[in-house]
Every structure is written in C-alpha cells, then in structure tokens.
Structure 1
C-alpha cells in the first residue's frame, strides 16, 4: 500500500510526490516511452517525439541528471550519441504499464 505522509514537515517531500516531480512532465514521459524498447539517437528522438531540438535536449539533460537516462557516445567521426535507459529508467516501464491499465479501466 502506498502511504503519503500528510504529517511530514513542510520542508520534507513525500516519496510519491518526489517521484511525480522527477518524471512528471509530458515531454519526459514521451521520451521515456520511446526509450523503453531500445536506445535511440538524438535525431531519431526528434523524429519520433516531434519535440524541437532545444526542448528535447533539455528533457534528455533532466532525465540524465535524474539518473534515468544515460548518454552513450559512439565513435568520434562521425560523432554519434545514443540515449538509453539506466536500470532505474528500465524499472519505470512496469509503472507505465500499470498506469495504462489503470486509465483504461
């Protein structure tokens, strides 16, 4: 059972709220959705997500800083980058599935 502690001090954050804040933007959810199957390059993510490059770059940076996505540099000429989920990110797939089921009921 999930417990949200309403008696927490004002400077503390409930773990559920903290998780929602960490992955709560629509852009982050869209990017994660496309990374669940396999890693993708930046241009591929632009094409799939329909986000502009500035928004995608910021979203990926936020996910990387949160430990959900990592940036893998492949070769140096031509320079390529691939984004993949960390173990922490992979664990989100089950949560997405449960949310999908929940909203479908």
Structure 2
C-alpha cells in the first residue's frame, strides 16, 4: 500500500477527554516515554480485555503534540488530516478484514 514508513509500534496513553492535552501534560508524557495520546482507544481496549476479548488496535495519529502555551493549534487540522487519509484508511481496514477472515480470527 506504500504506507510502511507511516506504521510504527509505539506507546499509547490517554487522559480524560474528549479534549486536547495541555502542554504541561504533553511534556510530562514525553518524560515518561509516551509516543502518542488517544482519547478513547485505551479505555476501550481495557474494557474489552476485562470482558475476555482479544484486542487488536491501531490509531490514526492526526496531529502533533504542541508543548508550548504560546502556540494555538486549531482542532480543524484533526478533521482535515482524517479526511486526507480516508481512502488509505479504508484500504487498510479492507486488507485487515481479508487477513483476519483468511486466518479465521
């Protein structure tokens, strides 16, 4: 698919939301070695595991972390990033569905 350079294994965390993290929270997470922050996937994975489900998850990273209070970053960039990658994301999900179906998962 030509996206191998965009796929990474990383440490994901979350904080209560839905809201963007503060610069102070982001700096703390960087110190802790966290690579990415999500709003719901961590909670959903914990709940699924609690129910005995096997979990496979991935996140689409839509914006960079801004660790400076002086920089105002618009939330619209998140929506725009998602729209730009919509077709790639759809192809990836279709390929994963085929892979999982063929492996009886």
The TM-score with structure 2 as length reference comes to 0.32
The structure with the greater share of residues assigned to helix is: 1
More strand by share: 1
TM-score normalised by L of structure 1 = 0.32
